[in-house]
Amino acid sequence: MSDPHPDNPSSRRITRRALLVDALAATGIGVAGALAVDRFRHRRRRAAVFIGKAPSYSMDLASIIEAGLGQLGIGSGEVRGKRILLKPNFVETVRGALHICTQPEVVFAAVEAFRKLGAAEVLIGEGSGHCPDAMRIIDEVRLAESLVEQKLRFVDLNNDDLIVRPNAGGRTSLRALALPATVDQVDWIVSMPKMKTHHWVGATLSMKNLFGMMPGIVYGWPKNVLHWAGIEGCVLDINQTVQPHLAIIDGIVGMEGDGPIMGTPKPTGVIVMGTNLPAVDATAARIMGIDPTKVAYLRNAHGRLGTIALDEIVQRGETIASVQTDYQLVDFIPAHRGLRPARGSRAIPAPGLSS
């Protein structure tokens, strides 16, 4: 994800048709935005986040995810009959590497857990940010054969039919967002990222992972339209428009250093889960030794899409302190500078974020 100038607003040719579309979209934004904020408002206070210890991919990960769902109050009553899209991160593959992509063991563990709770259908979908060939990706992340064995459908979100929704976030110049039609065909979207540092935004977790929902046929490879519109604003816009229901972060082996592609493996041994994505990402950031209030898109998500304030997050499972391990940050990467919590203030909410 490395366009040299991610923050410039995209240019638009102004035509009569564009003006009409914009006017209609603006109306839509007003209504959709209000609904979205309303929906998120009740999710802000006292968000539960589950941390499960998982030292290796060979463990019974389904049991950990089932336990996590239980701790989050998600049982068969919530899942039965639902169609669930699992959205892992397969941005780019290196055969045998554990630290770039969400590992299939975690994805299939989630499949097993949701099936056990009575999901009507579980799908796996990804729109790789760097690689147009989805079949090669699922071969190289060792997903292909298991999809057949487990009778699972994979959706190439880069190449799905398209739907268009008004941009409910309104943080960027994008008036509407083109999305894969599968978004309209499922009840739940579960963001399943890898726990990684990121050289443009500091950390990439469940909210940033939704860049992979955006179809490459409309946004390009890399998703350059989003870079020009502003990565951080787009993270908020996409999350507010798509409204994912749950996050399950693969932090068993994460990536530190020059993430999200060229960093090094960081065994962390955790799975982090929750329905309030800013809270989940803030918890993961704290585990990584990153102050979430210093990650711009997390700071801006606070109060709008959820909470990142420690005193508003109810920690389930393990404590942050018991699994915390500093991810290496790189001095020459501007987005990494100043991300560490102030000395002595680790795990303490920043002023203004503890309402």
Applying CB under 8 A, which residues contact another protein? 2-5, 8, 10-13, 92, 94-95, 130-133, 135-136, 139, 144, 147-148, 156, 159, 161-162, 164, 178, 199, 216-222, 224-225, 227-228, 258, 261-262, 330, 332-333
Query: Residue 219: what residue type?
Result: Y
Q: Which helix (H) or strand (E) element contains residue 327? A: none
- The smaller minimum CB distance to another protein, of residues 114 and 228, is found at 228
**In the complex, minimum distance from the CB of residue 156 to another protein, in angstroms, rounded to a whole number:** 8
User: In 17-82, which ranges are E strands?
Assistant: 47-53
Alpha-carbon distance of 104 to 175, in angstroms, equals 35
**In the complex, minimum distance from the CB of residue 95 to another protein, in angstroms, rounded to a whole number:** 8
**In the complex, minimum distance from the CB of residue 291 to another protein, in angstroms, rounded to a whole number:** 22
**In the complex, minimum distance from the CB of residue 322 to another protein, in angstroms, rounded to a whole number:** 33
Helix/strand/coil for 210 = helix
- The smaller minimum CB distance to another protein, of residues 65 and 101, is found at 101
- The smaller minimum CB distance to another protein, of residues 227 and 286, is found at 227
**In the complex, minimum distance from the CB of residue 157 to another protein, in angstroms, rounded to a whole number:** 13
- The smaller minimum CB distance to another protein, of residues 37 and 164, is found at 164
Are residues 276 and 44 in contact, defined by beta-carbon separation less than 8 angstroms? Answer: yes
Residue indicated by tokens 């976030």:
169
Q: What is the 3-state secondary structure (H, E, C) of 3-53?
A: CCCCCCCCCCCCCHHHHHHHHHHHHHHHHHHHHHHHHHHHHHCCEEEEEEE
**In the complex, minimum distance from the CB of residue 227 to another protein, in angstroms, rounded to a whole number:** 8
Side-chain-side CA neighbours of 18 within 13 Å: the count stands at 7
- Roughly how many angstroms between the first and final C-alpha of the chain, as a whole number? 34
- The smaller minimum CB distance to another protein, of residues 174 and 305, is found at 174
- The smaller minimum CB distance to another protein, of residues 18 and 321, is found at 18
Query: Residue 42: what residue type?
Result: H
